[in-house]
Amino acid sequence: MTFPTPSHHPGLPTRHADFLSVADALDYAAQGPTGYNFYSGKGVLSEALPYATLREQAIDLARRLLGMGLEPGDRVGLIAESDGDFVRAFFACQYARLVPAPMPLPSAFGGKDTYIAHIRRMLESCGATAAFGPAMLNDWLVQSAECLDLKISGTLALLDDVAPFAGDLPVQSADSISYLQFSSGSTRFPMGVAVTQRAFLSNAAHVGRTGLAIDDGDRCISWLPFYHDMGLVGFLLIPMACQVSVDTLPTREFARRPLMWLDLISRNRGTISYSPSFGYELCARRAETLSTEGIDLSSWRSAGIGGDMIRPHVLANFAARFAANGFDAHAFVPSYGMAEATLALNFTPKGQGVRHDVVDSILLEKEHRAVPAAPGAERSRTFVLCGHILPDHTIEVRDGAGRPQPQRHVGRIFVRGPSLMSGYFDAPEETARVLDGDGWLDTGDLGYLLDDQIVLTGRAKDLIIVNGRNLWPQDLEWTAEAEIAALRSGDVAVFSVDSGDEEEVVALVQCRSQDQATRDALAGEIGQVFRSRYGVLVRVVLVPPHSLPQTTSGKLSRSRAKTLYQAGDMPILGVSAPVEPVPA
């Protein structure tokens, strides 16, 4: 019978990523008994992979990759299945001084041709020399690699008969690229974020020591994808660099059995686990119909929330629903980060939990100031504080002229520090657009500072400007989803388009009804909500279920939805006649 690796590593002092490279970190972790554990969607342990075993297998694979003729610095595309083969291949690249580039699994509704084209563009953009993936996607991967100059593409089994390289393995330098993290960030197409050994180890050290205060006995539980920075860095690389065991559930199974995540935390006494808002929301919703008896969440000390705009009511509902299961709301750790900064930038202080800031929406829209809402304010908006910047890093909120702003003034967020990327791979113009000569990164996010903690208000590119008012699309989306019973989380995408004389606000809304009268009533109700709550004219466009695209982390891709709509590629069930708004 297979048992998971332990949570403790007696006799091996905890080190917080104070190493020269990822390979050096694995060399150290391999001296203890901890490691990775891979579970099926039903919570059955399929493979326990101690760091010591991983090290041996990764070194063997590294020699075979070099024996294939790959050379240090070559890029290797890896379809990021939540299994041991992906992990073995990733660390083999570290020992061979190759550059792994994790690539996504197919989305549930994307289609074969779309996925193959997407993988091909990723392989092209990073100039890959090789590509590997799971057996179930082998045919698709081979088709993606057609006409590309790859030395090898397929499963790792292709390396079984390759004669291993017999010389000394190449040594990583601090400034060599450790991996490429594809990011949809602020670029037109996912670019390869080049993360150096130095940048990763800096971020891992600060997260381990300060952000999460990781120690012997901690245990990470995750369903997050390895092709996203929160899954790859947060729950694959950082735990290893701090000698922590990790239990991983398949990403593709999470939506089907979300409570298995909580069950695994309970069974293995997990202490650290993260999710975007929708993960907590899905668990709370599923718990309305399924029993949670036997689930004990009292060990969960760091329930991280990040990867998207934080929805306060989602966390409140989760905390209330699972309080009887031992969950402590003070365990919530709202955080802020991005792939361009390796992973994390800000963490809330231990025990703070979710701290709210309720501001006057009208002043926020018109004056760009986050003024506390007075009792009985006409409209208000609740934000969540996302914590202090990590040591050795700096954060500023700037106005349109680039001037740092005082607290409670909304502006564009800039950051600087040792965790930042070296740039987008082979894309100097895109790099120069977001990273200046003084090392400041334009995050593309808007927000304000409060008590030296960052508060996010949205993405700058998504901001809707109507008659001098700044409207955040997520405000309209969340309001519609909260007030209209027929809508679920993720059913609405709001954006503005240039209609010639002025900007027109469009709301794409997923509709599940086949009845035309019901559809007309839904569109009318949504338009009325926007009219009465925000005083804004909105064209409501009903689309079929599963039409709204998502990012690789499961968030609504508002920009992609807009692109599909403008190109005429979005299936449409009906369009409402806009209703004149009331004055704001």
Kindly state the average pLDDT of the residues 265-287. Answer: 95
In terms of pLDDT, which residue wins out, 187 or 63? 63
Rg for the chain, CA atoms, rounded: 24
What confidence score (pLDDT) does residue 471 get?
86
Paired sense of beta strands 469-471 and 344-347, if any: unpaired
DSSP 3-state assignment of 299? coil
What confidence tier does 114 reach under pLDDT thresholds 50, 70, 90? confident
What confidence tier does 464 reach under pLDDT thresholds 50, 70, 90? confident
Name residue, tokens 């409140």.
316
**What digits encode the pLDDT tens for the residues 365-424?**
889 999 999 988 878 889 999 999 999 999 999 999 999 999 999 999 999 999 999 999
Q: Which domains does the chain have, with CATH numbers?
A: 22-256 (3.40.50.12780), 353-458 (2.30.38.10), 464-575 (3.30.300.30)
What confidence tier does 185 reach under pLDDT thresholds 50, 70, 90? very low
What's the predicted TM-score (pTM) here? 0.89
- Mean pLDDT of the residues in the chain: 92
CA 529 to chain centre: 30
CB 520 within 8 A of CB 561: no
From CA 129, how far away is CA 405, in angstroms rounded?
A: 46
The letter for the amino acid at 564 is: L
Nearest residue to 128 via CA among 72, 86, 75, 70: 75
What residues contact residue 188 under an 8 Å CB cut-off, 6+ apart? Answer: none
What confidence score (pLDDT) does residue 309 get?
81
Kindly state the average pLDDT of the residues 425-433. Answer: 94
Helices 277-286 & 259-268 angle (0-180, nearest 10): 90
Q: Is the dihedral of CA 198, 201, 206, 209 positive or negative?
A: negative
What residues contact residue 230 under an 8 Å CB cut-off, 6+ apart? Answer: 224, 274, 276, 306, 307, 343, 553
Kindly state the average pLDDT of the residues 236-255. Answer: 96
Least confident of 139-143, 440-444, 464-468: 464-468
Least confident of 108-112, 142-146, 156-160, 320-324: 108-112
**What digits encode the pLDDT tens for the residues 515-564?**
899 999 999 999 999 888 888 889 999 999 988 987 655 678 888 888 88
Which tokens go with 91? 């660390």
In terms of pLDDT, which residue wins out, 66 or 576? 66
From CA 477, how far away is CA 469, in angstroms rounded?
A: 17
What confidence score (pLDDT) does residue 227 get?
93
